[in-house]
A and B are shown apart, each in its own frame.
Chain A
Amino acid sequence: MLSSQIKSNEIVFGSCNKDLLEEIIFYGIRLGADFVEIFIENTDNSSVLAEEDFITSVSPSFGRGAGIRIFKGTKDGFVSTNDLTKHGLMRSVSQAIEMLDITDNKREVFNGLNEHRDYSLSKKKWINEVPSIHEISEKLLVSTKSLKKNNKIITRKGSYSRNLQEVIIASSDGTYVSDIRLHQTVGLNVIASDAQYRSSGSRRFGSSGMPNEFRLWDHEKAANDVFESSMNMLYADYVDAGQMPVVLANKFGGVIFHEACGHLLETTQIERGTTPFENKLNEKIAHESVTAIDEGISEGSFGSLSVDDEGMEPEKSVLIKDGILKKFISDRAGELRTGHKRTGSGRRQNYSFAAASRMRNTYIAKGEHSKEDLINSISEGLYCKSMGGGSVGATGQFNFAVEEGYLIKNGKLTSPVKGATLIGEAKEVMPKISMCGNDLELAPGFCGSISGSVNVTVGQPHIKVDSITVGGR
């Protein structure tokens, strides 16, 4: 029997699925669930890779699936499937119920779904407005050509990816929403080489909900930036290890706050007992110059969304105000298990993950100083112009690679240095952020965690950390 034969009672995107969704939710409630949530998605993605002067990869993909989550008390059971028929979805509900071993007779009431909130209405045309593969290929090739500025550049790459995700979210509290999300990202990478010297440079740009954004992308400026970075670092010496003051550049410099502090403010960390900030609400956890925000509403930013993956509109959450901890980032399970109100931060990579409390656009607010003020205040230290990736250990220790760094001597930037890593712990470093610049900028990124990889924005103005361990040689 082929699974493609026409079936009745199947989820159809673009149509009203209310009766079918209500029937499935009611089925779960009748079997004893406290709460039933259905997340259904249909994706249409493509990516293109240009290497040197050729397109070397074009990868379209499409798919669909459902994630069904059942709560009983604070426990939850999650089942994902590619089968969007009534039979397939009900089977998934039964499986989740069975996993949770629900046997009591207490029954919740399900009064049906609320009026459909359709965030997708103005977005259905996006698929026809995004650039074609041909258009993308042409611009990527022009971009990689722009990177060929001298014979020391031995590798040039340009990559583009577009993810279009159509979602339907319905749950037993009446939530019934639909949305379409569009994310586009483009990156440039080079490797430079001269005799025994090697360096690399990379930059990534991204947007959400803006089909025309790739066309507007200034590839020449991006190529110049990547090229200069690789040339500056080509002959750099290794940095000497030590404790020193550092200035972290704006934009992607914010990755440190994201990784080292932001994750510790997600309710999943409270659930695990792995955040030092659990009982610090309304207490000072950072220098008074620090105000930090997580929001999902900045138009076009990579971490913005009309509605989160649990059907809640995202809010602007002031996490830290003048150094005082004000709020945690919370999702439905987080509210249930920790008592912190939902913030519209329930996010997941796709239908095969249960939503969890995740950051969106997260940044340190701008201060009053210029970049020069920060650098001038340091007699010997490090300027981290471009950060690489990093990680945070189970006990809160973090480690970040500095992609492009310069020594600061007597208030001036001097020679470039490579091989630096920043090592520390959030609760020790946050009070040492003593100066914030007035040049807040955001940068897109991908964050991998419990509910998969999600699009986020990190950001900050230039900031000064009075003392941090710099790893080197």
Chain B
Amino acid sequence: MNSREITTQISKTANFLNLKKWDYGASFSNDYSVQVDKGEAKQLKASEKQILTIRVWNQSNLVGITTTSDISESGIKKALKQANIASDFGNKNESTEFSPLAKDPIKVKEIKKRNPVGIKKLLTLLREAEVKLIESHESIKSVPYNGLSESFFERVYANSEGAFRSYSKSQAALYLYARAEEKNKKPRSSGSVKLGYGADDIDIESCIKEASNKTISHLNYSSIKTDKYLICFSPESFLTIINAFSSMFNARSIIDGVSLSNKNSIGEKLSTEALNIYDDGLHEKNISSTPFDGEGTPTKRLCLINRGRIENFIHSESTARIFKTTPTGHAGLGSKVSVSPDWIVVEKSEENFDLKTSLDHSTYEGEFVYIEELNAIHAGVRASQGSFSLPFDGWLYKNGKKISIESATVAGDIKYLLKNIVNIESSQELTTSGISPHIWVDELSITGDA
């Protein structure tokens, strides 16, 4: 069944079961991926997936939900029945409704959907990339983590009041993580990830170059003394930390009591006035952009921090109603609707007079730690408490030299970090999770060899 036929089938079956109010979200995908090992194909994968999530409102306006991969007539009927049974246990304390924006026009940027290049070409491209990466430096012995994939998918939202949205797109991803070894030294590893609308859009050469340069740059390493340091966060690592603490801007987290913010935090000063942060799922550089969320609300650009102060929260339908505002396009369909950011954009505002602009990662000659990539986010972040303790890959810059740091962690509080931003560099860089300039923070704790 295609998405229109599914909508018709759900409508017909819901009528038969006397279910007046329903909505659904669905995704259909075809994925192809390859991995290689020293020139040989290791694993080749193809998958065809379909997932349907149906919500049903009962006569008391309580919601029940069911998710299934069975989109046959009988599967749809079973899902509607189960959702109806689940609605008996619907949340009486917080109601859920259709998004008031579920029928609003959506901004669909030019659809960049590519045709599949096929497994054989993916394999050829990845084999060539692996060979080039290994040949790029004598110390690079293998590329243990690698993969090239392409996905083609359609997402749908529809409800019993006639809302219907659908879009389809393609996406490809390449990751190369090299391992370098030198005599009497520990092995070192680093890598690169690149996305594109299709395999032919991926800049494979730059992925190889980046993986090689990063890996080689960690060959000469040393432990770091445990102390407080001036830190320069790479765009990628700063976006990682902002995403990890995005519950500060998340209305769902605020209602659930797991956010550092509260309902009255709009306007709260968190940082230097030079800092602006947006969530911009529709950004032209966001390859993973989606024009609507799980409730059918259009995606839009939203300012989260304006001149250092909290400007907006991200919302679903129900959180927006509780906060007396409109949904922002950040909902994920579920029994309890989740809220999450799309794509973070960090900018330097015009109010940037208090910044120490001499701090530039490419020219600054004083001592500082450059954090290239933060790891183990799921383990080292306590979002509800605001604290973090995270291992990282990076370098110590000292006396005009840079040396890779062996096995260290950076620890602190997100509010302390934001308040201690001392410079926001001018140039923004594109990453897979958003856009940000390099950000400098003073006096963060690093644990290395004590």
Task: State the A residues within 8 Å of B (CB).
Answer: 2-4, 48-49, 51, 54-65, 74-83, 95-96, 98-101, 133-134, 137, 154-155, 191, 198-200, 238, 241-243, 271-274, 352, 354, 388-391, 393-395, 397, 399-401, 418-421, 423-425, 469-473
B94 to chain A, nearest CB (A): 7
Contacts of B187 in A (CB 8 A): 395
Give the residue of B50, B91, B177, B379 whose beta carbon is less than 8 angstroms from that of A54.
B91
Cβ-based interface call for B269 (8 A): no
Are B46 and A79 in touch, CB under 8 angstroms?
yes
With a cutoff of 8 Å between Cβ atoms, the chain B residues found around residue A423 in the complex are: 391, 407-409, 447
Contact B73 A394 (CB under 8 A): no
Please report which residues of chain B, range 207-226, place their CB below 8 angstroms from some CB of chain A when the two chains form the complex. 226
Name the CB-closest residue of B to A450: B43
Minimum CB–CB distance for B191 against chain A, Å:
8
Minimal Cβ-Cβ distance residue in A for B410: A471
B124 CB, min distance to chain A CBs, angstroms:
11
Q: In whole angstroms, how far apart are the Cα atoms of A274 and B141 in the complex?
A: 11
By the criterion CB–CB under 8 Å, are B409 and A57 in contact? no
CB contacts (< 8 Å) of B44 on chain A: these are 75-78, 96, 99-100
Contact A65 B69 (CB under 8 A): yes
Interchain CB contact under 8 A, B70 and A2:
no
Once the chains bind, are B385 and A272 in contact (CB under 8 Å)?
no
Please tell me if the beta carbons of B385 and A2 are within 8 angstroms of each other in the complex. no
A469 pairs with B78, CB closer than 8 A: no
Bound complex: CA A78 to CA B389 (Å): 38
Bound together, the chains give a CA A75 to CA B91 distance in angstroms of 50
B371 to chain A, nearest CB (A): 14
Q: Is B350 an interface residue (CB 8 A)?
A: no
B401: CB under 8 A from chain A? no
User: Nearest Cβ distance between residue A221 and chain B, in whole angstroms?
Assistant: 24
List 20 extra interface pairs beyond A57-B336, A82-B49, A419-B411, CB under 8 A: A49-B335, A54-B92, A56-B94, A57-B91, A60-B83, A63-B70, A78-B46, A79-B45, A81-B48, A82-B69, A95-B46, A98-B119, A155-B258, A242-B226, A272-B144, A388-B379, A395-B189, A397-B407, A399-B375, A471-B447
- Kindly supply a per-residue 1/0 record for chain B positions 91-127, scoring 1 wherever the CB is within 8 Å of any chain A CB and 0 otherwise: 1111000000000000000000000000110000000
Minimum CB–CB distance for B378 against chain A, Å: 6
Assuming A273-B144, A391-B376, is B385 touching A57 (CB within 8 A)? no
**SS class, residues of chain B in contact with chain A:** mixed
Q: Does residue B174 face the partner (Cβ distance < 8 Å to A)?
A: no
Determine if B332 is an interface residue (Cβ-Cβ < 8 Å).
no
In contact, A57 and B1 (Cβ under 8 angstroms): no
Contact of B411 among A83, A199, A389, A472 (CB under 8 A): A472
- A362 CB, min distance to chain B CBs, angstroms: 18
Q: How far is the CA of A381 from the CA of B78 in the complex (A)?
A: 57
Report the 10 A-B pairs with minimum CB-CB distance, sorted nearest first.
A4-B72, A63-B69, A389-B379, A471-B447, A391-B376, A4-B73, A394-B189, A272-B144, A57-B335, A57-B336
Give, as a whole number of angstroms, the nearest-CB distance from B71 to chain A. Answer: 7
Task: Determine the interface band of chain B, counting residues with CB < 8 A from chain A.
Answer: 35 or more
Please tell me if B267 contacts chain A, counting CB pairs below 8 Å: no
Q: Within the complex, what minimum Cβ distance (angstroms) separates A218 from chain B?
A: 24
Closest CB in chain B relative to A437 CB, distance in Å = 25
Stretch of B59-67, B297-305, B308-316 with 4 or more beta carbons under 8 angstroms from chain A: B59-67
- Using A2-B5, A80-B49 as known contacts, say yes or no to A400 and B379 having CB atoms under 8 A apart: yes
Asked whether A354 lies within 8 Å of B45 as measured between CB atoms, the reply is yes
B16 at the interface (CB under 8 A from A): no
Residues of B within 8 A of A51 (CB): 256
Q: Does B75 contact A (CB under 8 A)?
A: yes
Bound: A387/B41 CA distance, A = 39
B380 proximity list for chain A (CB < 8 A): 399, 401, 421
* Closest-CB distance, A39 to chain B (whole angstroms): 13
User: In whole angstroms, how far apart are the Cα atoms of A472 and B228 in the complex?
Assistant: 11
A273 engages B179 (CB within 8 Å): yes
Asked if B91 contacts A79 (CB within 8 A), the reply is no
Residues in A neighbouring B50, C-beta threshold 8 A: 82
- Complex interface: chain A residues within 8 A of B68 (CB): 61-63
Q: Find out whether the CB atom of B47 lies under 8 angstroms from the CB atom of A79.
A: yes
A3:B389 contact, CB within 8 angstroms: no
> How far is A274 from B65 in the complex, measured between Cα atoms in Å?
43
- Minimum CB distance partner of A157 in chain B: B256
Q: Once the chains bind, are B94 and A241 in contact (CB under 8 Å)?
A: no
- Docked complex Cα distance between A61 and B70 (Å): 10
- Contact A2–B1 (Cβ < 8 Å): yes
Give 7 CB contacts A-B under 8 Å. A54-B93, A62-B82, A64-B69, A77-B45, A78-B43, A78-B45, A352-B49
Contact of B145 with A272 in the complex, beta carbons under 8 Å: yes
Q: Which residues of A contact B5 (CB under 8 A)?
A: 2
Residue of A nearest to B255 (CB): A51
Is the Cβ of B67 less than 8 Å from the Cβ of A59?
Answer: yes
B420 located at the interface, meaning its Cβ lies under 8 Å from any Cβ of chain A in the complex: no
Chain A positions within 8 Å of B428 at CB level: none
Taking the closest CB of chain A, its distance from the CB of B154, in whole angstroms, is: 15
| Contact partners of A78 in chain B: CB under 8 A | 43-46
Report which of B45, B49, B70, B179 forms a contact with A64, defined as CB distance below 8 A: B70
Give the docked Cα–Cα distance between A352 and B29 (Å): 12
- B42 CB within 8 Å of chain A: yes
Q: Are B450 and A243 in contact (CB under 8 A)?
A: yes
Contact B82 A401 (CB under 8 A): no
Is there contact, CB below 8 Å, between A75 and B93?
A: no
Compute how far the CA of A471 lies from the CA of B388 in the bound complex, rounded to whole angstroms. Answer: 11
Contacts of B21 in A (CB 8 A): none
B144 to chain A, nearest CB (A): 4
Please determine whether B43 and A56 come into contact, CB atoms closer than 8 angstroms. no
Within 8 A of A (CB), among B360-419: 375-376, 378-380, 382, 384-387, 389-391, 407-409, 411-412
CB distance from B170 to the nearest CB of A (A): 18
CA distance A99 to B124 in the complex (A): 12
Known A75-B42, A391-B379, A393-B375; contact A271-B447, beta-carbon cutoff 8 A: no
Structural contact, A397 and B70, CB atoms closer than 8 A: no
Task: Chain A residues near B43: list those with CB within 8 A.
Answer: 75-78, 354
Q: Is B284 an interface residue (CB 8 A)?
A: no
* 8 Å CB interface, B21-39 against A: 37
Task: Report the bound CA distance from A370 to B188 in whole Å.
Answer: 39
Q: Are B389 and A472 in contact (CB under 8 A)?
A: yes
Assess whether A154 is in contact with B257, with CB atoms less than 8 Å apart.
yes
Contacts of B335 in A (CB 8 A): 49, 57-59
The distance from the CB of A71 to the nearest CB of chain B, in whole angstroms, is 10
User: Does B142 count as interface, using CB distance less than 8 angstroms?
Assistant: yes
What is the distance, in angstroms, from A15's C-beta to the closest C-beta of chain B? 16
- Return B10 CB to nearest CB of chain A, in Å: 13
Contacts of B72 in A (CB 8 A): 2-4
Q: Complex Cα distance A82/B49, Å?
A: 7
Residues of chain B lying within 8 A (CB to CB) of residue A137: 89
Residues of A within 8 A of B94 (CB): 56
Whether B144 lies near A99 (C-beta < 8 A) is: no
- Residue B445 at the A interface, CB < 8 A? yes
Is B177's CB under 8 angstroms from A394's CB? yes
Instruction: Write out the residue numbers on chain A whose beta carbons fall within 8 Å of the beta carbon of B422.
Output: none
Task: Give A242 to B227 CA distance when docked, in angstroms.
Answer: 11
Q: Cβ of B447 and Cβ of A56 under 8 Å apart? A: no
Q: Does B20 contact A (CB under 8 A)?
A: no
Q: Could you tell me if A3 and B48 are in contact, using CB atoms closer than 8 angstroms?
A: no
Cα distance A395–B44 when bound, in Å? 25
Whether, in the assembled complex, B184 has its beta carbon less than 8 Å from a beta carbon of chain A, the answer is no
Query: In the complex, what residues of B have CB within 8 A of residue A418's CB?
Result: 387
Question: Hey, which chain A residues are within 8 Å of B387, CB to CB?
Answer: 418-419
CA distance A4 to B70 in the complex (A): 9
Specify which chain A residues have a CB less than 8 angstroms from the CB of B83 in the assembled complex.
Answer: 60
In the assembled complex, which residues on chain A have CB atoms less than 8 Å from the CB atom of B73? Answer: 2, 4
* Residues of B contacting A473 in the complex (Cβ-Cβ under 8 angstroms): 411-412, 445
| Per-residue contact bits, chain B 73-93, to A (CB 8 Å; 1 contact, 0 not) | 111001100110110011111
Q: Which of B66, B70, B447 sits near A241, CB closer than 8 Å?
A: B447
CB nearest to A244 among chain B residues: B450
- Beta-carbon contact of B71 and A3 below 8 Å: yes
A57 to B93, CA, bound (A): 11
